Amino acid sequence: MKVTITGGKGGTGKSTVATNIALLLAENYRTVLADADVECPNDYILLNASLQDEREVLLFKPRFVYSKCIKCGLCKRNCSESAIVMFPEGFPFLLPNLCSGCRTCQIVCPVDGAIEDDFRLVGHTYRTEIEKNLVLITGMLKEGEERSYPTVVEVRRRAQKEEADVYLFDTMPGTGNHVAVAVEDSKVVIAVTEPTPLGIHDLEMILKLLKKLEIKGWVVVNRSDMASVNHRPVVERYGAEIIAEIPQSEEVLKSYVKGTPLVRKYPNSEIAGIFRDIVKRIEEVM
Amino acid sequence: MEIVVASGKGGVGKSTITASLVQLLSHKKVAAVDADAEAPNLHLLLDVKEWEEEKEFVSAQSARITNRCTQCGACDDVCIYEAIEIKDGIHRIKDYLCEGCGACRAVCPVKGAIVIENALSGWIRVAETPHAPLVSAELDVGRPNSGKLVAEEKEIARGWVKEGKAKHLLVDSAAGIGCQVIASISGADLAILVSEPTPSSLNDLKRMYHLTRHFGVEAKLIINKDGINPSYRGLENFAESKGVEIIGRVPYDEAVPGSITAMKTLIEYAPESPSAKEIVKIAEYVEGWL
């Protein structure tokens, strides 16, 4: 079963919720935590783990074989990213940073072998065994690379190769297709938000996305006592449900800054109890 | 001058700090750019009651499979976005993933079975706030390439500078280090990086800093929520090792969530709070560069 933690706004506590829930799930189930926040992955830091078993994420790019090229220009005309320009002599030339790796140029090229496969490195994935029942898959976008989507897809592929009962995904902030690709096919999506006008505004955007994907949203209101904005109207409008409210506490902050997950450092605290209740809700739909 | 406020990590205070800087520097004719099209929030703090202009923005296309499809599956084999699904034996495009690259149409053996159509990317909006003109954008959920919306916003704001409507731009970047952030820092004169004293924030700050180096933009650092982790020296050590100047340390106090809830800048909401006073100092310092 796939469960996804997302939220729209950044810094609402997605990774804190994801890592704590992963540890609790792993007490009874084989669990994979997939850190799909490939631009800024932090689950390994919150779990005090190292990144291991590195693999490259490679994206196709065309290599033009000028001895075979007939200068027809079809590759340039069909490139949706305008990543191909023509030299004055009529040969194509690639602007690699614009290339999306879609292969359309190679597909439309009428000459066999005039466009060969080449690849560029856009990111890495890692696999870390956190404990007996918990594997962490991490995606890390290469710095300077614009496209996070291919690395998110690789995280998804690598996570799904694991044998597990629960696949728990932690997404990027935002609402674009690089979030949608991590969210789709989830049985349950938990949107972590905060009770401020900013949190609610971005929550509405992510609930809109879930509606499009026809997935019911569960909402966790983090730092529920930091402000008093009423999120219920938005939650109700999208048919979502608030499943937990997490107040601010010294324990959350301390475990966060010390790099020991709360459910391990303070297993008997009120907040650990709230995380256990969330896990119970997940178990009910398994 | 074009200044971008960025952080890597989300929720560290970019918009709070940017909104206050916009207010404090309004006499220098700044304009504000909300460069987070996937979670735009700056307008909420700059008291925008209604938008003066709103336009639809189309940058990416989207594929559609028509009823001429013979269900051969060639498209599914080439789609790098994994955007093609088969439901009840029928191939369909998941429009929340498709970027309209056209690879599916190129391999499709049946003419007219796949069409590529213009698709809405999102909306670009402009408002005159009490402090400065603002350009903001909103990505339609599940669409690709929010970076192109940001690039368009910057075009508009740079137009204001050319017309003389503004002299300087303050750009509130998105979280992360991807397309939106790259669009935000490309062509900027200076990056103000905001970080909080936690290992996660430091981790993301390092990635963000490398991005500024990659694009040749000078970086300065603001430590926000200073004091929440008193024994932590990670940010200071990093700044020192890279020669990055720390231009302010904003303490965390109750005025910060209060101002966000009241939808005001920190300066309007609680000018005497320690956090607001520190941002005033930072603004005076930044003013020296303008």
Residue-wise pLDDT for A20-56, tens only, equals: 999 999 999 999 999 999 999 999 999 999 999 999 9
**Last residue in a domain, options B70, B103, B118:** B118
> Are B10 and A100 inside 8 Å of each other by CB?
no
> Are A104 and B101 inside 8 Å of each other by CB?
yes
Which uninterrupted H or E stretch holds B183?
Answer: helix B179-185
Rounded-to-integer distance, Cα A135 and Cα A167, Å: 10
User: Residue A241 is part of which domain span?
Assistant: 2-56+123-285
- When scoring B14, B46, B200 by the number of chain A Cβ atoms within 10 A, the one with the most, hence best to mutate, is B200
Residue-wise pLDDT for B221-277, tens only, equals: 999 999 999 999 999 999 999 999 999 999 999 999 999 999 999 999 999 999 999
The whole-model pTM stands at 0.96
Residues A216 and A276 in one domain: yes
Residue B160 maps to which CATH number? 3.40.50.300
Residues A103 and A192 in one domain: no
Residues A175 and A229 in one domain: yes
- By percentage, how much of chain A surpasses pLDDT 70? 100
Residue-wise pLDDT for B212-225, tens only, equals: 999 999 999 999 99
Residues on chain B touching A6 (C-beta within 8 angstroms):
none
Residues on chain A touching B61 (C-beta within 8 angstroms):
80
Q: Does A253 have pLDDT greater than 90?
A: no
| Closest of A207, A219, A265 to residue A246, by C-alpha | A219
What mean pLDDT is predicted for residues B124-146? 96
Residue-wise pLDDT for B65-95, tens only, equals: 999 999 999 999 999 999 999 999 999 999 9
What mean pLDDT is predicted for residues A224-232? 88
Q: Does A259 have pLDDT greater than 90?
A: no
Q: How many domains does chain A have?
A: 2
| Closest of A214, A222, A220, A257 to residue A239, by C-alpha | A214
Residues B140 and B75 in one domain: no
Residues A157 and A96 in one domain: no
Sequence letter at residue B169: L
Q: Does B59 have pLDDT greater than 90?
A: no
Residues B18 and B70 in one domain: no
Residue at token pair 């504000």: B32
Rounded-to-integer distance, Cα A102 and Cα A81, Å: 10
User: Residue B208 is part of which domain span?
Assistant: 2-58+121-287
How far does A150 lie from chain B, in Å, by closest CA? 8
Angle at A139 between CA A141 and CA A52, to 5 degrees: 115
Rounded-to-integer distance, Cα A223 and Cα A226, Å: 5
**For A11, which residue in chain B has the nearest alpha carbon?**
B11
> Are B175 and A39 inside 8 Å of each other by CB?
yes
> Are B103 and A102 inside 8 Å of each other by CB?
yes
Residue at token pair 């900013």: A198
Residues B114 and B222 in one domain: no
User: How many inter-chain contacts (A to B, CB under 8 Å) are there?
Assistant: 206
> Are B178 and A197 inside 8 Å of each other by CB?
no
Is position A118 within any domain?
no
How far does A193 lie from chain B, in Å, by closest CA? 11
**For B94, which residue in chain A has the nearest alpha carbon?**
A213
